[in-house]
Structure formats: C-alpha cells, structure tokens
Amino acid sequence: MSKSIYCIKENRLIIIDEKLGISIDIDFCVSEGQIHEVKEYYPSDVLKSQRYYLGKKLHGPSTYFFENGQVATKVWYVNGEKQGKCFQYYKNSRIYSLQKYKDNLRLGSHKYFYEDGTLKSEFYYENNQLDKKATLFWENGNIKREMNFLKGKRHGFDKIFSYDQRLLFIGEYESDIPIKCHKSYDERGILREETIYKGKSYKKSTYDHLGNLIVNE
C-alpha cells in the first residue's frame, strides 16, 4: 500500500504521497513570525476559513467551512502551490470531489460525486492537461459519456449514452479534429444524423424518425 501523510507535526509541514511522487518535509513554525495564520468568520461567528501564509503566499493547509461547521474544502499549499490531494464536500459532509496536484499542476485521477456518494465523473490529467479516458456517469451508475484525450485534446472515440445506456452519439477525433464517421441516434436507437469527415470537408446526412434519409449535405 502506498504511503500517504498530510500533517503538521513538531513544527514540520509534511506532505508525503507516493502515488503522486510528492515528498515534502519542511520547517513550519507559526510562532517565529514568517508563517502567519488567518481566520475568517461568518456573521454568526462560525469559522468560515482557516489559512496559513508564508509572506503573501498560501502555505500549509487551507480549510474552508460551511456555516453549519462542516468542512467545505481542504487543500494543501507549499509556497503558494497546491500539493497533493484536495477534498471538497457537500453540506451533508459527503464528498463532492477529490482532486490531485503536484507543483500546482493537475495530476492523475480527479473524481466528482453526486450528493448520495455515487461517482459522477472521473478525469485523468498529466502535467495539467486532460489525458487518457474521461468518463461521466448518470445517477444510476450507468455511463453518460466516454471521451479520450491526449495532451489536453480529444483524441480517440467520444460516446454519449442515455440514462438506460442506449448509444446516442459516437464519433472519433484526432487532436480535437473530427475524423471518419460521426453518428447521432434518438432515444429509440434510430439513426438521425451521420457526418463523414475527410480532411477539411464533410458530408452530412439527416434521417427521419423511422431512419429514412431525408437530407444529404
């Protein structure tokens, strides 16, 4: 099991996350004056946020709260840069998102959830750019959309599905440019539109509710 430590201990700021390749263990002494703590409150006197700064840059854990006292967001900074896992929550304390950073850049899997805890979407990042597969889900857990990325651009198949998992769209991209055949279907699975791409030109066909060709462009 990979090691994961996020803490302030004995005047040390420690962020160790083996999966993200992060290993930070540095001085963190608020009493000496270089690092200072800032707290903000709601009009009701409930704590709204607790942050630490090194000069004018965020440094250490930054925690934001809902007025009911529950944590809304917790993220770790080192000299102004996000490092490691960032958690966001709903007011009922269930997780809203888990994001990951290294040197202020998005990295690895980023997950977002519905309020009941069901996975809503998952994206992968490499050097702050979308990479590999991105998947969106319906509330029932079925796939809503699948996309593929390479260095921040759509690259590969893009598929869209209905709530009950019927295919609504399928198309292929190469560096964000549509290629080959793209098809759109209605909720019954009837083909309604087809576009064939060849270089900068394309041919578009439209079909009626029975799947009969009505327009060729």
Q: How would residue 116 be classed by pLDDT, with cut points 50, 70 and 90?
A: very high
According to the model, what pLDDT value does residue 58 have?
A: 98
Q: Which of 184, 179, 189, 186 is nearest to 157 (CA)?
A: 179
Domains of the chain: 131-217 (3.90.930.1)
Q: What's the CA gap between 65 and 56, in Å, rounded?
A: 22
According to the model, what pLDDT value does residue 200 have?
A: 86
Mean pLDDT of 40-56: 97
Instruction: Look at the pTM and tell me if it is higher than 0.85.
Output: yes
